[in-house]
A and B are shown apart, each in its own frame.
Chain A
Amino acid sequence: MARPGVNIDYNQKVITIRGLEKSFDDNYVLRGVDLDLYQGENLVVLGRSGTGKSVLIKIISGLLKADAGEVLVLGKNMALLDSRSLRELRMKVGFSFQNSALYDSMTVRKNLEFPLVQNQRNLSRGEINKRVEFVLDAVGLMQAINQMPSELSGGQRKRIGIARTLILQPEIVLYDEPTAGLDPITSIDINELINEVQQRFKTSAIIITHDLTCAKTTGDRIVMLLDGKFERQGSFDEVFDTDDERVRAFYNYNFTE
């Protein structure tokens, strides 16, 4: 069920995953994951640390290869793409890293310009500046344009990281722990920004988190990764309306600690 003001097209799937499996040596992380992400939807993937949440979005973005199963992103099978097609697809799938992963030798402006200049070489200087200023304005950090990443706070770095994913105008955004390491107030700002991005840029998103406030605020649908599979699925209340101790423990920890 979509939140107010959010338009989700349930007839159009932008990501389809069937029977996804992934292991690292003897550690089986994903054991037959099935998932659909609809056009315009914010899907939150909840789970404890080390349960394979980040592995899931790294497989979707092509950073990791699946051991088994099928991953279709915007109708394209990730396993069958050559490097050129994968690069083209990646421009439509933004990835916001947990630690922001800003290029620390470049200013904020260069960080944002870099993907543009590399991918759209025919853009004029004026167009590049316009796009950079547009996304910086969208994340509310116009004043940081000439700063180095080391001069920014954690929350500002997250915002710039999100701005960098938006500069290529993606259709899907993958957020890896967007509120990890942030204070509660900054976390609320980031949650609002995620919702703003969804509505303003008409993106679909997968949000990986173990922060239940983030899940409740940003998720149209929530899935819970338990023992390598999605065990619970639905709205926030539906997911936690259970006697399953693994789920209850997660809820209690988040709201009592």
Chain B
Amino acid sequence: MDTTNSTVTPTPKQGKKRIKRAAAFFQDLYKVGAFVGRFFKEAFIPPYEIKELFRQCYEVGVRSLALISLTGFIVGLIFTKQSRPSLSEFGATSWLPSLTSIAVMRALAPLVTALITAGRVGSSIGAELGSMRVTEQIDAMEVSGINPFKYLVCLRILATTIAVPLLSCYAAFVAMMGAYLNVNQNEGTSYSTFIEQAFEPLSFIDFESSLIKAIVFGFTIGVVGCYKGYYSSRGTEGVGKAANSAVVTGMFLVFIEEILIVQITGWFR
């Protein structure tokens, strides 16, 4: 059997399909760009919906607190517990507070917060706007002289951009409390010593990059959730797809951004 020429040439039909897919991808990319551009164009011009913005921040932030508290606490506790055996081999368990604080501040707090928010809030935004789209509620706003993009999209993106950094700070605090509980039980470290050791290795750039990450993640989750919901179609199936796609795409983009931001902040360190 001749195995030298193993390359399969696509049929004209397959080729056409691929071209169509590529065109759809670039069209989508353009649409997302236009969507983000429209957000910056419309979000900061009056009238400002302060009351509705607070309500959205409450929905995103306060309603996520229980989940963030539980997850943050467990992450801090488990991270410390799992790191102890390796450090104890070198007699370096006293490094646990600083090791945990670096991990939590630089990566875990913003990432865990973003993933939870993408799952809880991203899907809910996608489903809510998607169902509004298919039941013509968005059209009803438009024909009533209301700007649905400004009222529904801009406020939700702003809310996630504001709430995720705050949640991330809170997650960091709770994770450190979980770590303290473990360290205190095993090493008997006092609270003040733990805090002193935890803050010692952290620099301004750690706080700054963590905050920037959280802002970028929050913005991304808001944009993805709103985009998927706002442009959903095909009835209830479309709503389900919008919610699902908001979570999957949101999480995927969060990981990509994590890599990029770590790389960029690495240059400044």
Question: Counting CB contacts under 8 A, is B140 at the interface?
Answer: yes
> Contacts A101-B135, A103-B137, A104-B137 known; A95 to B47 CB distance under 8 Å?
no
Q: Is the CB of B135 within 8 A of A95?
A: no
A91's contact among B135, B136, B140, B145, by CB below 8 Å, is which? B145
Question: Counting CB contacts under 8 A, is B151 at the interface?
Answer: yes
A87's contact among B47, B136, B145, by CB below 8 Å, is which? B145
B144's contact among A88, A118, A121, by CB below 8 Å, is which? A118
Question: Counting CB contacts under 8 A, is A97 at the interface?
Answer: yes
Q: Is the CB of B143 within 8 A of A119?
A: no
Question: Counting CB contacts under 8 A, is A224 at the interface?
Answer: no
A110 neighbours in B (Cβ, 8 Å):
none
- Which residues of A approach B to under 8 Å, CB–CB? 61-63, 83, 87-88, 90-91, 93-95, 97-99, 101-104, 114-115, 118-119, 121, 164, 168
B140-157 residues with Cβ-Cβ distance < 8 A to A are 140, 142-147, 151
- Which residues of B approach A to under 8 Å, CB–CB? 47, 132, 135-137, 139-140, 142-147, 151
B139's contact among A91, A101, A118, by CB below 8 Å, is which? A101
> Contacts A91-B145, A168-B144, A168-B145 known; A118 to B151 CB distance under 8 Å?
yes
B146 neighbours in A (Cβ, 8 Å):
114-115, 118-119
A90 to B140, CA, bound (A): 11
Q: Is the CB of A63 within 8 A of B47?
A: no
Q: Is the CB of B145 within 8 A of A118?
A: yes
Q: Is the CB of A115 within 8 A of B135?
A: no
Q: Is the CB of A95 within 8 A of B143?
A: yes
B145's contact among A90, A102, A164, by CB below 8 Å, is which? A90
Q: A90-B142, A93-B143, A164-B140 are in contact. List 20 more A-B contacts (CB 8 A).
A: A61-B143, A63-B143, A87-B147, A90-B143, A90-B145, A91-B145, A95-B143, A95-B144, A99-B135, A101-B136, A101-B137, A101-B139, A102-B137, A103-B132, A103-B137, A103-B140, A115-B144, A118-B145, A119-B146, A168-B144
Q: Is the CB of A63 within 8 A of B142?
A: yes
Of chain B, the residue at the smallest CB distance from A103 is B137
Q: Is the CB of A88 within 8 A of B139?
A: no
Of chain A, the residue at the smallest CB distance from B151 is A118
Of chain A, the residue at the smallest CB distance from B143 is A95
B147 neighbours in A (Cβ, 8 Å):
83, 87
A156 to B249, CA, bound (A): 40
A185 vs chain B, min Cβ distance (A):
26
A98 neighbours in B (Cβ, 8 Å):
136
A119 neighbours in B (Cβ, 8 Å):
144-146
Instruction: Give me 22 A-to-B residue pairs in the complex whose CB atoms sit less than 8 angstroms apart, sorted by A's number.
Output: A62-B143, A63-B139, A63-B142, A83-B147, A87-B147, A88-B145, A90-B143, A93-B143, A95-B140, A95-B143, A98-B136, A99-B136, A101-B135, A101-B136, A103-B140, A104-B137, A115-B145, A115-B146, A118-B144, A118-B151, A121-B47, A164-B144
B132 vs chain A, min Cβ distance (A):
8
A98 to B146, CA, bound (A): 20
A62 neighbours in B (Cβ, 8 Å):
142-143
B136 neighbours in A (Cβ, 8 Å):
97-99, 101
The 7 A-B pairs with the shortest beta carbon distances in the complex, nearest first, are A115-B144, A101-B140, A95-B143, A101-B136, A91-B145, A90-B145, A87-B145
B238 vs chain A, min Cβ distance (A):
16
B135 neighbours in A (Cβ, 8 Å):
99, 101, 104
A97 to B139, CA, bound (A): 9
A88 neighbours in B (Cβ, 8 Å):
145
B142 neighbours in A (Cβ, 8 Å):
62-63, 90
A102 neighbours in B (Cβ, 8 Å):
137, 140
Of chain B, the residue at the smallest CB distance from A118 is B146
Most chain A beta-carbon neighbours within 10 Å: one of B132, B145, B146, B147: B145
